[in-house]
């Protein structure tokens, strides 16, 4: 399935009437990492630990981790790395203290390896600036100017971000008051210019031991959202963002792009333009490519049909398809197949409305789609959509529709369920407003459950009130709480795949450990209060002697079955019987065919080999086992 990219489909010029109907634009992202190389960045993050990393090391570790995640999640994005306050210089403007380490390009194993190793070689190759250089440069201004220059070729439709890593909250402290005002105004003006160019400036501050990073000294006016952020809360959120960069969760990031454009026919002459998005889809590792082992060039795969009689290649125009009809084969031409599948033109056709309570969770046949209106083809679609959405929310109804996704698709039965907008405490959108398109089953798809619960007396077993109470107590003790969400759990199989891929690509000595969050919390499940609830439930259901019953069942299971005893006795008998023949001599002289089938089978049974087949098959199996 294609990636998805959204656009402002719910934007309306009339203002608050359509508030809540909006979709953030997506696209290719370009990120510039600006890393401060002030002497303070080479202090240790923890004075009490001798082996503690420096702030510079922590910044480079975060960037390397972000690149490792980005090469998997958003491989088409571009990143660049620039140091400021450096001893050496490397930039098109010739400014002191600015060193472009990596120009903008897509992530690669080589670029990640360069970032991972720079901490070790930094002082020898680039170096931090000296204190005496402070009065001659405006480090943050020059760094922002350079980052903007690195963004010049970025697409206007993409996302452009600048991330600043520093633990120096007052980069202009070493200049005079007059120069400080001038440099500050110069820096803020440049930041505003970048924001006007749709470049987001984000700060990732690192507080030195015993000191609090004060964004009010300069960076509050530099950041894209600095004026709106509470300084007391900003440091906490910035630290969380820094920790997110260090996260090892590897996953594909799919943009919200339009999967399909369609219309919803409400009644004759009344249609609404729609865009369909896929918000939930199963993620799988990308397919492994094939290379020529000699040239390391990709191989091209072609499919050819070969005639079973002549061995010649068949032309596609001579190939027909058939469907079985009893013992007969009904042959179709390609155009006949397409005509047989086509019922009507693609789109949604409203059948009517039902109460939301009638929609059962198990009626969902596959992942849902998500619908937004669009005025692109039918003017007024947005207002019609919002009116319909509002009414359905008010009366708790869902729409039943027939759906033909494309010309080659079969008709489907779907439900359109109105989803209201969800925002957090700050007003930021967590879930958009729109319609969930849920595939429904036809009568042909329903399978009636088989009744297995009736006892020999014909009565279905019932749980006692005590057993229900014990189960309720167990549910309370193992409750995951309101903070749990499936979106927090990464697929461990994908994590292991990407971790192994990363280790091979970067020539790492070990494969990074992968946390399997699908396993139960062992520490929590073994708490005395949980163990007590589990034992009480087992005792109420299985009886007070369940421990003895379990032990007896385990002992019984460990005993070999009668069938296993018979198989062992037959193998022992065959082992004794095969000793009557010199199998090696018979094989070397080609005399195995002089033995009877039962005599050949004694060798096969003694060596736990298959005993079925013709005499030639038995001999071939024996020779293969003996290595001939």
**pTM score, two decimals?**
0.60
Instruction: Note the Cα 152 to chain centre separation in Å.
Output: 31
From CA 146, how far away is CA 100, in angstroms rounded? 8
pLDDT in tens, 364-403: 888 888 998 989 889 999 999 999 999 999 999 999 999 9
Q: Which two tokens stand for residue 546?
A: 């369940």
Contacts with 282 (C-beta within 8 Å, 6 or more apart), sequence order: 367
Please report which helix (H) or strand (E) contains residue 355, including its range: strand 347-355
The answer regarding whether domain 465-478+489-547 maps to CATH 3.20.20.220 reads no
**Beta-ladder partners of 298:** 291
Q: pLDDT category, 8, cuts 50, 70, 90?
A: very low
Longest dimension (CA), the chain: 110
Q: Is the pLDDT of residue 7 over 60?
A: no
From CA 455, how far away is CA 457, in angstroms rounded? 5
Q: What is the pLDDT of residue 367?
A: 85
- Kindly compute the dihedral angle of the four CA atoms of residues 467, 471, 477, 480, in this order, to the nearest 10 degrees: 180
From CA 245, how far away is CA 130, in angstroms rounded? 30
**Beta-ladder partners of 239:** none
**What letters, b where the CB count within 10 A reaches 16 and e where it falls short, cover 28-59?**
bbbbbbbbbbbebbbbbbeeeeeeeebbbbbb
pLDDT in tens, 207-229: 888 888 888 888 888 887 644 45
Q: What is the pLDDT of residue 451?
A: 63
Q: What is the pLDDT of residue 52?
A: 81
Q: In the predicted model, what is the mean pLDDT of residues 299-309?
A: 83
From CA 164, how far away is CA 453, in angstroms rounded? 64
Computed on alpha carbons and rounded to an integer, the radius of gyration of the chain in Å comes to: 35
Q: Give the domain ranges of the chain.
A: 29-246, 347-445, 465-478+489-547, 562-626
Name the CATH code of domain 347-445 (choices 3.90.650.10, 2.40.290.10, 1.10.10.10, 1.20.58.220): 2.40.290.10
Both ends of the chain: CA-CA distance in Å?
51
Residue 269 φ/ψ region, left for φ over 0, alpha for ψ in the -120 to 50 degree band, beta for the rest: left
**Domain 29-246 homologous superfamily, CATH:** von Willebrand factor, type A domain (3.40.50.410)
Q: What is the pLDDT of residue 257?
A: 67
Q: In the predicted model, what is the mean pLDDT of residues 354-364?
A: 88
């Amino acid at each position: 399935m294609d990636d998805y990219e959204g656009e402002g489909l719910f934007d309306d010029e009339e203002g608050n009437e359509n508030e809540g109907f909006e979709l953030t634009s997506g696209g290719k992202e370009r990120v510039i990492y600006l890393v401060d190389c002030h002497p303070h960045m080479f202090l240790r993050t923890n004075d009490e630990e001798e082996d503690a990393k420096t702030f510079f090391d922590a910044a480079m570790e975060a960037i390397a981790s972000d690149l490792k995640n980005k090469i998997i999640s958003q491989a088409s994005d571009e990143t660049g790395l620039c140091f400021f306050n450096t001893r050496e210089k490397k930039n098109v403007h010739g400014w002191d203290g600015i060193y472009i380490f990596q120009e903008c390009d897509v992530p690669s194993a080589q670029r990640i390896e360069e970032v991972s190793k720079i901490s070790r070689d930094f002082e020898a190759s680039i170096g931090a600036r000296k204190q005496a250089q402070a009065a001659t440069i405006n480090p943050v201004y020059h760094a922002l100017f350079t980052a903007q220059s690195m963004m010049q070729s970025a697409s206007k439709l993409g996302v452009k971000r600048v991330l600043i890593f520093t633990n120096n909250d007052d980069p202009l402290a070493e200049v005079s008051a007059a120069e400080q005002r001038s440099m500050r105004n110069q820096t803020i003006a440049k930041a505003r210019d970048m924001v006007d160019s749709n470049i987001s400036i984000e700060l990732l501050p690192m507080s030195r031991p015993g000191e609090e990073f004060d964004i009010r000294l300069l960076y509050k006016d530099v950041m894209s959202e600095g004026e709106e952020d509470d300084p007391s809360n900003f440091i906490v959120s910035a630290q969380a963002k820094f920790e997110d960069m260090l996260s090892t969760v590897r996953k594909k990031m799919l943009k919200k792009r339009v999967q399909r454009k369609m219309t919803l026919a409400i009644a004759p002459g009344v249609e609404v333009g729609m865009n369909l998005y896929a918000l939930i889809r199963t993620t799988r590792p990308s397919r492994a490519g094939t290379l020529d082992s000699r040239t390391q060039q990709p191989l091209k795969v072609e499919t050819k049909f070969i005639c079973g009689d002549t061995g010649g290649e068949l032309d596609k125009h001579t190939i027909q398809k058939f469907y079985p009809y009893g013992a007969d084969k009904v042959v179709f031409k390609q155009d006949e197949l397409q005509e047989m599948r086509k019922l009507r033109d693609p789109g949604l056709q409203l059948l009517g409305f039902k109460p939301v309570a009638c929609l059962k969770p198990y009626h969902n046949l596959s992942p849902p789609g998500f619908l937004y209106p669009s005025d692109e083809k039918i003017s007024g679609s947005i207002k019609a959509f919002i009116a319909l959405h509002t009414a359905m929310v008010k009366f708790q109804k869902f729409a039943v529709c027939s759906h033909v996704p494309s010309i080659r698709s079969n008709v489907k039965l779907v439900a359109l369920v109105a989803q209201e907008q969800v925002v957090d405490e700050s007003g930021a959108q967590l879930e958009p407003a729109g319609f969930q398109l849920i595939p429904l089953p036809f009568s042909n798809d329903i399978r009636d459950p088989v009744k297995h619960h009736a006892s020999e007396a014909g009565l279905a077993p019932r749980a006692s009130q005590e057993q229900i109470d014990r189960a309720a107590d167990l549910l309370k003790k193992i409750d995951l709480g309101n903070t749990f969400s499936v979106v927090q759990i990464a697929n461990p199989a994908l994590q292991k795949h990407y971790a192994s891929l990363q280790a091979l690509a970067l020539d790492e000595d070990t494969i990074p450990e992968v946390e399997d969050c699908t396993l139960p919390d062992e520490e929590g499940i073994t708490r005395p209060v949980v163990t007590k609830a589990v034992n009480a439930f087992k005792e109420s259901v299985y009886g007070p002697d369940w421990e003895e019953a379990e032990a007896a069942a385990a002992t019984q299971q460990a005993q070999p079955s009668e069938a296993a005893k018979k198989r062992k006795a037959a193998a022992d008998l065959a082992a004794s019987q095969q000793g009557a023949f010199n199998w090696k001599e018979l094989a070397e002289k080609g005399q195995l065919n002089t033995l009877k089938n039962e005599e050949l089978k004694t060798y096969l049974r003694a060596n736990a080999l298959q005993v079925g087949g013709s005499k030639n098959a038995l001999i071939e199996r024996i020779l293969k086992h003996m290595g001939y």
